[in-house]
Amino acid sequence: MKNKIPEKLKQASLVKLVLTTFKILFLWFLAIFVLYLLMEILPGDAATNKVGKEGPEAVAALQQKMGLDRPLSERFFRWLRGFCLGDLGKSLLSGKNVADIIKTPLISSLSLALIVFAGLVFITIPLAVYSGYYKNTFSRLLTKTAVILSALPEFVLTVLAIMLLCMKLKLLPVLSVPGPGLTVWQNPVSMLMPSLCLWIICSVSMFRHLRVMIESYAKSSYVKEAFLAGLSKNRVLFVHLLPSALPGIAQIMASTVPYLLAGSMVVETLTSYPGMGYTLIQAVYSRETPIVMGIGSFLIVITIIFYTLADLLAGRSIREEEIV
Amino acid sequence: MKKSIISLLLVIVLLLSACGQKTETEEGKDVDDILQKPQITGDETEQEDEAQQEDETQQVDEMQQENEIQQEDEIHQEDEGSAPLKVGALFSPDDTLDPTTVTSPGGMLLMMSIYDSLVSMHYDGPTLRMAESIEANETLDAYIVTLKEGLVYSDGVEVTGQDIIDSLQYIAAAPHYQSMYGNLDFDKTTAEGNQATLALKEPISDFIESVLAMWSPVAKGGIFDGIGAGGYVYDKGDPQTGYVLKANEKYYAGKPAIPEVTLLNIPDSASKARALQTGEIDYAWGLDAAAVQILSQEDGIELQEGSLDGATALELVLNTRVAPFDDPEVRYAAKLTVDREKLVTTLLGEYGEIGNDMLGKGFATYPEDIEQIKMDKEEAERIFAEKGITEITIVTSDTIPGLTNATKMMVQDFADVGVNVTVEELDPQTFFAQMGELYQKSAFTFYWMNRTPLAEFRSQVLKDSPYNVSGYYSDLTEESFKKAITTNDKEEQATYIKNISQDIHENGGELIWGYQKDISAQRKGLKTETNQSVPWLATATFVPEK
């Protein structure tokens, strides 16, 4: 009897794992199909972009050469088949392998995201929690700084940072380029300026959300009861308040991941960082569907994984609360 | 116990400092020895004698002075050679080493550095580069290209006439080069040794200026894989992180002075300017007006105004297919309405030139003596009123930044002469895909890369021109063009070109209001020539000012 229960639990976990995987795959498929559709809906295509000035005959000939005259479903499933076999296809305009085009931006953006993510976890979250939980001059100063910084557009903030740190103090280079043929890890200095700018941009919005959330948790009845029971302020924070706030924090963190990977176009352009945001926008402008799909499918996977993890974390916390 | 440890540490520190001093002294001697080695050989035994020592000291001082002068001379000599160059330009993420796929300015710079060209275009005419000579036959339907003697690729393999044919055939197959090389008849084209005879489908007298000089790269067997006969050899890199190019030791004009060129992808114009200020790059290629402002007061940086041969012609197309611009008088009224000076001053600043509704400004054959159209709003108002024109539509798009702003400024000009303008804005990405619809509109904005008048006429002002966007053509232009391209007499050709220019200036549907020049900035000490605004790095020198 004792052996049968864990077996059942194992089976249930396995079923759940399969269901979760299926859910992720289904969501991914749906999202990439919508992405493909959106690229299709956009006016113009790679052929009009390249030879539009030369008239409709030239456009039609190039569309045929690029295979853009084929039905949407045929093109989509051809791309999907290639993707499943590990072939991301070729650029419509240059014929270059998409994998080669997105390799450098992918490494650069992932590295940047990793650094900024670490900064958010180890610096921003503790500061936001402190600011929401403790009421003193430092916490008020943090809040005001976040308000001021959040009022600055991304563009202005990045330019100000460049002017101060690169031009005035000469601490960092203006160009965040690792150098020809090098990855950002071979020249880590190239990551400093974009990661600093991105960290500030992500931090200010996250700080405000988290601070308000922690503040509301601090005012909740169970926290008050914990104080009345004579527990110390730190114990209330770490044992009672933070575990309850964890699902919310996880959701906020998950929502920053897609931005970190591909939404950082302004920062990348101003610092000349070879990331995915710039490559993606260029690909959309030139209607390079294979490149957009290559980057998009990857981003969608990452986003779904992070949101699923956040959901799982939230579900676990709720179950734990129920058990308690 | 503690005291003894501290004392021990102190002793160690003192000993170490003493050793350090000794080492410094020894090092000092070593340096002196190095400086004196050529002069002091054989005199070491007499060093104990004080007088001699004094003499020696004097000699040493003199020799040191001589050595210092010699060293300074050596440094100066090193300065005479060029330093490595870092260039900031815009690249496209999918640029390759194949010229038919390159779409960005940085990509073009890379291509020209690696592959060079048979001929290049200068404002006063074509300049032979890889070609030793290019001669047309009497009927002007074949051109014999002879390559420079001993011309080799960077890997040492000889460049052949067949390579020219293979390369041009490959380039001509690319959709956006088809109109340029469409007249080449590859079935009749032949090669022998370092000569290629390029046969044409119909006679053309300006084949060199209008086709080959625009760009005629050559690669082994027509395979553009990064090995060319240009001034530089691809070393490493990609469009995202930049490229490193090394001077080609086998370059036909001798190894380029600049030993290494680094091309960096800097999409933002202001970032290029800032990188130039901090010394991270030496040459910022392609700047906008804001970046120019950043750099205008910088010492040690020179702003370089692009020449007209690489400029962009900005225009309002008056569509002659539909009313009201199917009437030449109404077209003339529109030409009198627009305040070109205000447009150029406001939008292009000091890096723009006023247009005169003719193509090819800046080139030797452009008829400068045709009078500039001047704004005359009274006359324009009279014509519009007489013709009963009160409404027009202008379709605009920022296919080149600034065209929409130009249209908005024109709205006021037309309002001044009693014409209300409806502006329709289109997405730049889809503008060219809607040419069919545009041909039904009264007017729309457009731009051209400035080329020689004959090259522009061929593509834009004839009945069968692929880019005749205004729809205007006349018997005069057709006949004059045929005569211009079939005559070998340059003066006669110039007359025909002037006739065509005069006709489109007075009756044509293209209101060319300005020419936008490319602007670049560089550290002082860089000397380079350009071809259609693309710098020729192979012949450049760079001795940075200290």
Q: Return the DSSP state at B176.
A: G
Q: If phi over 0 gives left and psi between -120 and 50 gives alpha, with beta otherwise, what is residue B77?
A: alpha
The alpha carbon dihedral of A122, A127, A130, A132 has a sign of negative
| Residue type for position B38 | P
Q: Return the DSSP state at B189.
A: -
Contact of B400 with B369, CB cutoff 8 Å: no
Nearest 10 degrees: CA dihedral of B108, B113, B117, B123? 70
Alpha-carbon separation of residue B45 from B19, B21, B41 (angstroms): 27, 26, 10
Looking at residue B429, its pLDDT comes to: 64
B467 to chain A: closest CA residue: A54
d(CA B27, CA A70): 78
What is the enclosing helix (H) or strand (E) of B250?
A: none
Q: Which chain B residues are Cβ-neighbours of A159 within 8 angstroms?
A: 270
Looking at residue A112, its pLDDT comes to: 92
**pLDDT tops 80 at residue A11:** no
Instruction: Supply B205's token pair.
Output: 């007298």
Q: B109 CB near a chain A CB, below 8 Å?
A: no
Fold for domain A104-323? MetI-like fold (1.10.3720)
8 Å CB contact of B175 and A271: no
d(CA A268, CA A248): 29
- The β-bridge relationship of strands B119-122 and B125-128 is antiparallel
Contact of B118 with B216, CB cutoff 8 Å: yes
Looking at residue B39, its pLDDT comes to: 34
Q: What count of Cα atoms within 13 Å lies in the side-chain half-sphere of residue B60?
A: 19
In b/e form, how buried is each residue of B113-141, taking b as 16+ CB within 10 angstroms? bbbbbbbbbbeeebebbbbeebebeeebb
Considering only CB atoms, B175 lies closest to which of A51, A104, A282, namely A51
Looking at residue B28, its pLDDT comes to: 34
8 Å CB contact of B432 and A48: yes
Instruction: Supply B119's token pair.
Output: 């001929």
| Angle value at C-alpha B352, between B351 and B353, nearest 5 degrees | 135
Give the other-Cβ count within 10 Å of B406's Cβ.
Answer: 24
d(CA B500, CA B484): 10
Q: If phi over 0 gives left and psi between -120 and 50 gives alpha, with beta otherwise, what is residue A267?
A: alpha
Strand stretches in B452-499, DSSP E:
none
Considering only CB atoms, A180 lies closest to which of B98, B178, B244, namely B244
Enumerate residue ranges in chain B where pLDDT < 70: 1-80, 429-430, 433, 532-533
8 Å CB contact of B176 and A54: yes
Give the other-Cβ count within 10 Å of B229's Cβ.
Answer: 28
Q: Which chain A residues are Cβ-neighbours of B262 within 8 angstroms?
A: 180
B496-540 residue pLDDT tens = 999 999 999 999 999 999 998 888 899 999 988 877 667 888 889
Q: Which chain A residues are Cβ-neighbours of B317 within 8 angstroms?
A: none
Superfamily designation of domain B230-304+521-542: Periplasmic binding protein-like II (3.40.190.10)
Looking at residue B176, its pLDDT comes to: 75
Q: Return the DSSP state at B371.
A: P
Considering only CB atoms, B237 lies closest to which of A59, A96, A181, namely A181
Give the other-Cβ count within 10 Å of B442's Cβ.
Answer: 23
Q: Range with the lowest mean pLDDT among A187-201, A302-316, B199-213, B446-460? A: A302-316
8 Å CB contact of B175 and A61: yes
- Asked, colleague to colleague, whether B117-222 and B230-304+521-542 share their fold, the answer is no
Give the confidence band of A233 by pLDDT, cuts at 50, 70, 90. confident
Q: Quick one: which of A117, A49, A103, A87 has its CA closest to A276?
A: A103
| Residue type for position A75 | R
Considering only CB atoms, B429 lies closest to which of A272, A279, A285, namely A285
Q: Tell me the shortest Cα–Cα distance from B50 to chain A, in angstroms.
A: 53
Q: Range with the lowest mean pLDDT among A93-97, A182-186, A310-314, B496-500? A: A310-314
Considering only CB atoms, A272 lies closest to which of B238, B267, B429, namely B267
Q: B96 CB near a chain A CB, below 8 Å?
A: yes
Is B501 in a helix, a strand, or coil? helix
d(CA B315, CA B509): 10
Which of 249-278 (B) contact A at CB < 8 A? 262-268, 270-271, 274-275, 277-278
Q: A287 CB near a chain B CB, below 8 Å?
A: yes
ipTM, interface predicted TM-score of the complex: 0.82
Q: Range with the lowest mean pLDDT among A65-74, A150-159, B436-445, B531-540? A: B531-540
d(CA B437, CA B441): 7
d(CA A214, CA A131): 9
Q: Tell me the shortest Cα–Cα distance from A53 to chain B, in angstroms.
A: 5
Fold for domain B309-516? Dipeptide-binding Protein; domain 3 (3.10.105)
Looking at residue A5, its pLDDT comes to: 59
Q: Which chain B residues are Cβ-neighbours of A45 within 8 angstroms?
A: 433
All structural domains of chain B with their residue ranges: 2-80, 117-222, 230-304+521-542, 309-516
Under 8 Å CB pairs connecting chains A and B tally to 148
d(CA B285, CA B522): 8
What is the enclosing helix (H) or strand (E) of B527?
A: strand B526-531
- The β-bridge relationship of strands B526-531 and B534-542 is antiparallel
d(CA A290, CA B117): 33
Average pLDDT over residues A86-97: 89
d(CA A20, CA B120): 63
Which of 202-231 (A) contact B at CB < 8 A? none
Strand stretches in chain A, DSSP E:
none
Q: Which of B85, B87, B90, B94 to mutate to test the interface with A (most CBs of A within 10 A)?
A: B94
In b/e form, how buried is each residue of B448-477, taking b as 16+ CB within 10 angstroms? bebbbbbbbbbbbbbeebbbbbbbbbbeeb
* Residues ≥6 apart with Cβ < 8 Å to B249: B255
Helices A125-133 and A137-151, interaxial angle, to 10°?
Answer: 120
Q: B440 CB near a chain A CB, below 8 Å?
A: no
Is B423 in a helix, a strand, or coil? strand
d(CA B293, CA B519): 12
The alpha carbon dihedral of A114, A312, A299, A260 has a sign of negative
pTM equals: 0.78
Considering only CB atoms, A43 lies closest to which of B262, B427, B435, namely B427
Instruction: Supply B520's token pair.
Output: 């670049």
Contact of B446 with B397, CB cutoff 8 Å: no
Considering only CB atoms, A94 lies closest to which of B94, B266, B277, namely B94
Task: Classify domain B117-222 by CATH number.
Answer: 3.90.76.10
Q: Quick one: which of B457, B426, B463 has its CA closest to B441?
A: B426
Looking at residue B75, its pLDDT comes to: 38
CA B316 to chain centre: 25
Q: Which of A166, A168, A175 to mutate to test the interface with B (most CBs of B within 10 A)?
A: A175
Q: B313 CB near a chain A CB, below 8 Å?
A: no
Strand stretches in B406-499, DSSP E:
420-425, 443-449
d(CA B209, CA B207): 6
Give the other-Cβ count within 10 Å of A138's Cβ.
Answer: 12
Give the confidence band of A259 by pLDDT, cuts at 50, 70, 90. confident
Beta pairing partners, B527 = B541
Instruction: Supply B18's token pair.
Output: 């003493």
Which of 184-203 (A) contact B at CB < 8 A? none
**pLDDT tops 80 at residue A8:** no
> What percent of chain A clears pLDDT 70, i.e. is strictly above it?
94
Radius of gyration of chain A (CA): 24
Which of 166-205 (B) contact A at CB < 8 A? 175-176, 178-179
- Main-chain phi, psi angles of B186, to 5 degrees: -70, -20
Q: Which of A265, A267, A272, A285 to mutate to test the interface with B (most CBs of B within 10 A)?
A: A272
d(CA B140, CA A170): 61
3-state SS record for A66-133 = HCCCCCHHHHHHHHHHHHHCCCCCECCCCCCEHHHHHHHHHHHHHHHHHHHHHHHHHHHHHHHHHHHH
8 Å CB contact of A274 and B240: yes
Q: What count of Cα atoms within 13 Å lies in the side-chain half-sphere of residue A20?
A: 14
Q: Return the DSSP state at B157.
A: P
d(CA A320, CA B482): 88
Q: Quick one: which of B244, B153, B112 has its CA closest to B536?
A: B112
Q: Which chain A residues are Cβ-neighbours of B431 within 8 angstroms?
A: 52
